[in-house]
Amino acid sequence: MQPLAISRYSIVNCLGAGSQAVFDALCEKRSGLAPCDFADVKLDTWIGRVEGLESTRVRPDLNAYDCRNNRLAQLGLELDGFAAAVTAARARHGAARIGVFMGTSTSGILETELAYRRRDPRSGALPPDFRYTETHNTYSLADFVRRYLQLQGPAFVVSAACSSTAKVFGNAARMIALDVCDAAVVGGVDSLCFTTLCGFHSLELTSRAPCRPFDAERDGISIGEGAGFALLERAGDRNGEGALLLLGIGESSDAYHMSTPHPEGLGAKLAMQRALESAGLAPVDIDYINLHGTASRTNDASEDRAVTSLFDGTTPCSSTKGATGHLLGAAGITEAVISALAIEHDLMPGSANTRNVDKELKSHYLLANREAHVDRVLSNSFGFGGSNCSLVLGAVR
Amino acid sequence: MRAFVEGVGLIGPGLAGWVAGGAALAGREEYRPAPTAIPASELLPAAERRRTGTPVKLALAAGAEAFAGARREAAATATVFASSAGDCDNLHALCEALATPERQVSPTRFHNSVHNAAAGYWSIAMRSRSPSTSLCCHDNSMTAGLLEAACQVAAGEPVALIAYDHPYPEPVSAARPVSASFGMALVLAPRASERAVAALDVVFLPERAAATPMADAGLEALRRGVPAARGLPLLAALARGGSATLVLDYVEGTHLRVTLAPCA
């Protein structure tokens, strides 16, 4: 693919609000996970909750869209000068030439979960204040972001579980290559809700401790929430020294099982191969891999096989989910931004919470932070339904 | 962006497959609404089949019909799934369970709750490791899917677009009425071949325009009543053959202009 410039990005999750806060936490190898205190959930698990969402509101003109997911979107849009950068891009390209491709897995489903507790005892009806279109519907997020940023280009939501916000980079790359638009806002949001907390618990996939990716004693995931956004433009427009680029993207399906990855990581390997092909790079060109690394027994084993079958076992890699938790639909953009921070600061983040790397896993897994030249990063995101996506990010040096 | 249509799938109320349903869409036969009948399928292994709900069965059946017509290998073809709500029966069952004090949810219900459940089952059924995406754009989900599919074809790869929607049960249906169960699919290729029945040119236009309606009142009600049925005018033009230019609604203040030309 033609490289695209990532001309601005923003991030918020349990590590903090904004890329500096997240980078500082990574430097300190700090985890943002804490015992579950979300709403009235009583599960013995740890979560990565974003502070203050309960007491904020979305912008008054978009009041109908007010829900936890869109509040988190607004928080992310206002960080790192992101909304201002989009305003400037709007002046350059025109509102109709900027697309909005968002990812989320559960959107504002929390509103519906809570509305089901308030059904009319006689008729069973939901309360009259329930707003399906602006909160629950999966598209609500892109609708909110498009209105918030006053954009008029093409838009939709990709909802392919935990690969969603990696896959949106591909939609934007195709649309820009075909001149459907000149720029795109990509990324997305997932926020805490009962469906995912109780659902992953029912699958016995949540850990009772802070999650420990690639650890010999790893026993499940920690669910987090967060938002991240990136502004993509043609690299020709902004390709000076140090410019951050999307170099490649690869997507695949597992054809194996709805909630368990292929044991040999065949789908994951295909996604990585396709991403490298799309970037015109070989495995040796990758300096660091940000793994999906959820800390479930099966994910980490499957991903390790995929990575070691494609790379020679010397490429440094780590999962940052011990720090952020698993942001589900927002994992792709979160880890793309962390990959960008790794490139800009020449830092490969070590794995928070992981104590002893599983001896069965053969990847070159980083426990400690490593300061080294990072020009190109591969970032993996895999999800339910066997949906896989890998991104390659790099910098102009 | 140009795409060649190689196969069509159609399942809706009174529209039992592309051959019979296409005749009604083209006006060659009278349209008679009847409950949507989803053909039984052996695509999935029995264990997986038992776990799927009606919306997933609908999507798989529409996709399978389009591939049967296209005579193209499904495993080697990328897919774009488009739906306003995915498996809405499953969502209702989950929300009911989560509103009880125990909050016990079934693991199968949970993994079926992802918007890409249909894509996941399709990948298993077709043994396909090809790229797949699952889109939502509320009432314009089918149009968003067509735009994305057209982009993938223009980038040089064949793709199947599978759009489907199914009514929510009460109580969500009061807030989000969807009038019927409807699925459609198109197998699209980047190059002309003897299999191609029509060429589509898809253009995104950032301005308002009136969507092309269906002439028949019953079909127009269906088009308005189900997000995936927003594709009916395109299917009707394909069924009629010949050339046509259509307007499909897309996100606020935009539309897609689709121009059809028959392939000799």
- φ, ψ of residue A246 to 5 degrees: the values are -85, 115
Is B111 in the A-facing interface, judged by CB distances under 8 Å?
yes
Mean pLDDT value across residues B155-175: 97
Is B71 in the A-facing interface, judged by CB distances under 8 Å?
no
Angle at CA of residue A371, ends A370 and A374, nearest 5°: 100
The catalytic position among A162, A211, A317, A389 is A162
Mean pLDDT value across residues B256-264: 93
| Residue A326 designated active-site | yes
Pairing relationship of beta strands A98-103 and A155-158 according to DSSP bridges: parallel
3-state secondary structure of A61: helix
Domain B2-195, CATH among 1.25.40.10, 2.120.10.10, 3.20.20.10, 3.40.47.10 = 3.40.47.10
Residue whose C-alpha is closest to residue A170's, from A101, A226, A236? A101
At position B25, the amino acid (one-letter code) is L
Best of A122, A139, A171 to disrupt the B interface (most B CBs within 10 Å) is A139
Residues 119-138 of B with CB under 8 A from A: 119-121, 123-124, 126-138
Q: What is the pLDDT of residue A238?
A: 65
- Sign of the dihedral through C-alpha A176, A179, A182, A187: negative
Indicate whether B86 pLDDT > 90. Answer: yes
CB contacts of B253 in chain A (<8 Å) are 152
| Residue A201 designated active-site | no
Gap between the Cα atoms of A35 and A211, Å rounded: 11
Is B96 in the A-facing interface, judged by CB distances under 8 Å?
yes
Pairing relationship of beta strands A288-290 and A376-383 according to DSSP bridges: parallel
Closest CA of chain B from A37, distance in Å: 16
CB contacts of A125 in chain B (<8 Å) are 170-171, 174
Residue whose C-alpha is closest to residue A367's, from A325, A320, A301, A334? A320
Each residue of A305-360: pLDDT tens digit? 999 999 988 999 999 999 999 999 999 999 999 999 999 999 999 999 999 999 99
What average pLDDT values come out for chain A (397 residues) when binned by 10 residues?
Answer: 96 98 98 97 97 96 98 98 98 98 98 98 97 98 98 98 98 98 98 98 97 98 98 83 92 96 96 98 98 98 98 95 98 98 98 98 98 98 97 92
Is A150 in the B-facing interface, judged by CB distances under 8 Å?
no
Pairing relationship of beta strands B244-249 and A98-103 according to DSSP bridges: unpaired
Q: Where would I find the beta strands (DSSP E) of chain B? A: 2-12, 15-16, 78-82, 132-136, 159-165, 182-189, 198-205, 244-249, 255-262
Residue B40: is it exposed, middle or buried by C-beta count within 10 angstroms (0-12/13-18/19+)? Answer: exposed
Among the partner-chain residues A112, A203, A252, the one whose CB lies closest to the CB of B131 is A252
Q: What is the pLDDT of residue A109?
A: 98
Contact A218, A211 (CB under 8 A): yes
Gap between the Cα atoms of A319 and A211, Å rounded: 11
Gap between the Cα atoms of A329 and A383, Å rounded: 9
Mean pLDDT value across residues B230-253: 97
A43: nearest CA in chain B? Answer: B103
CB contact under 8 A, A113 and B98: yes
Architecture per CATH, A4-395: 3-Layer(aba) Sandwich (3.40)
Among the partner-chain residues A96, A131, A203, the one whose CB lies closest to the CB of B107 is A203
Q: What does the domain layout of chain A look like in residue ranges?
A: 4-395
CB contact under 8 A, A387 and B120: yes
pTM: 0.98
Contact B205, B247 (CB under 8 A): no
Each residue of B13-58: pLDDT tens digit? 999 999 999 999 999 999 999 999 999 888 898 888 889 999 999 9
Contact B160, B130 (CB under 8 A): no
CB contacts of A383 in chain B (<8 Å) are 114, 116
Indicate whether B264 pLDDT > 90. Answer: no
Best of A38, A40, A253, A272 to disrupt the B interface (most B CBs within 10 Å) is A253
Among the partner-chain residues B128, B134, B253, the one whose CB lies closest to the CB of A160 is B134
Residues 90-149 of A with CB under 8 A from B: 96, 105, 109, 112-113, 116-117, 119, 124-126, 130-133, 137-140, 142-143, 146
Gap between the Cα atoms of A249 and A264, Å rounded: 21
Residue A161 gets which letter from DSSP? G
Q: What is the pLDDT of residue B48?
A: 86
Mean pLDDT value across residues B257-261: 98
Chain pair A-B, CB pairs under 8 angstroms: 209
Chain centroid, CA A257 distance in Å: 22
Q: What is the pLDDT of residue A237?
A: 65
Is A300 in the B-facing interface, judged by CB distances under 8 Å?
no
Angle at CA of residue A153, ends A147 and A154, nearest 5°: 100
Closest CA of chain A from B64, distance in Å: 16
At position A376, the amino acid (one-letter code) is R
Among the partner-chain residues A126, A178, A386, the one whose CB lies closest to the CB of B154 is A178
